[in-house]
């Protein structure tokens, strides 16, 4: 159809002049200059060199949103050893079920806290990682005595509880469905969390960072154990 052909030409950026074939009478817009309007049309506000959907106010709003998002991500990614760990509150579970009270980082001063962000419960890489933590729980995490390990993912509580029961994991998992904790620590990915790890000392400062944590490397577990021991000795 003629209208369809005219529309296609506009979409491809061809034939946008007033004499272009198939464009007369279908309300085509020109990239520059005043817009034609009928005698009965109301006033038209037109910004110079603008196209539909590129109102300056909308562009400014998009820019502010992008700037805010970039600033948040940049701050989270700038976390370094020695910084105070961002505080948070999140629902946690164990193999026994949902914890009665949310986990608040600030309430765990005086102990070492290990935050192990991971993509998804039950996947091969994450199972390898968490099974290694389970099998080394006494050696690496002192059996949970003054060392609190929290695995953090975007999974819901039911999935985490089922996984913990199936694999007999002796530590907590945080259900960070809204990615608030992941964003605060720069671990939030497009769909899931990245495999990042933080060791937080008893004073609430970051003592060790692994971005990413290599779940397949024995050296990674040795470095984690040394970091936990050093952080525990800083009390």
Instruction: Name the phi and psi angles at 104, rounded to 5.
Output: -115, 120
Catalytic residue among 126, 147, 184, 232: 126
Calpha distance 96→235 (Å, rounded): 31
Sheet holding 206-210: strands in order across?
A: 97-98, 92-94, 172-175, 147-153, 112-117, 197-200, 206-210
| Annotated catalytic residue 126 | yes
87-90: list long-range contacts, CB under 8 Å, 24+ apart: 88/180, 88/181, 88/184, 90/152, 90/174, 90/175, 90/176, 90/180, 90/181
**Residues with catalytic function:** 126
């Amino acid at each position: 159809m003629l209208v369809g052909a005219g529309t296609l030409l506009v979409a491809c950026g061809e034939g946008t002049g007033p004499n272009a074939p198939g464009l007369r009478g279908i309300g085509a817009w020109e990239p520059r200059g005043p817009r034609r309007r009928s005698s009965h049309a109301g006033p038209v506000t037109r910004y110079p060199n603008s196209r539909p959907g590129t109102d300056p106010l909308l562009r400014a709003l998009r820019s502010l949103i992008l700037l805010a998002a970039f600033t948040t991500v940049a701050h989270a990614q700038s976390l370094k050893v020695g910084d105070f760990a961002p505080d948070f509150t999140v629902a946690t579970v164990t193999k026994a079920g949902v914890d009665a009270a949310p986990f608040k980082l600030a309430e765990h001063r005086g102990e070492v806290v290990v935050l192990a962000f991971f993509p998804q419960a039950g996947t091969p890489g994450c199972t390898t990682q968490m099974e290694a933590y389970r099998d080394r729980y006494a050696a690496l995490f002192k059996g949970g005595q003054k060392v609190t390990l929290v695995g953090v993912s975007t999974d819901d509580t039911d999935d985490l509880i089922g996984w913990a029961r199936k694999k007999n994991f002796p530590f907590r998992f945080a259900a960070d469905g809204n990615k608030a904790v992941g964003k605060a620590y720069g671990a939030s990915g497009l769909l899931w969390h990245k495999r990042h790890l933080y060791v937080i000392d008893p004073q609430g400062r970051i003592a060790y960072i692994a971005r990413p944590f290599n779940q397949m490397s024995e050296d990674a577990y040795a470095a984690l154990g040394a970091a936990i021991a050093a952080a525990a000795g800083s009390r």
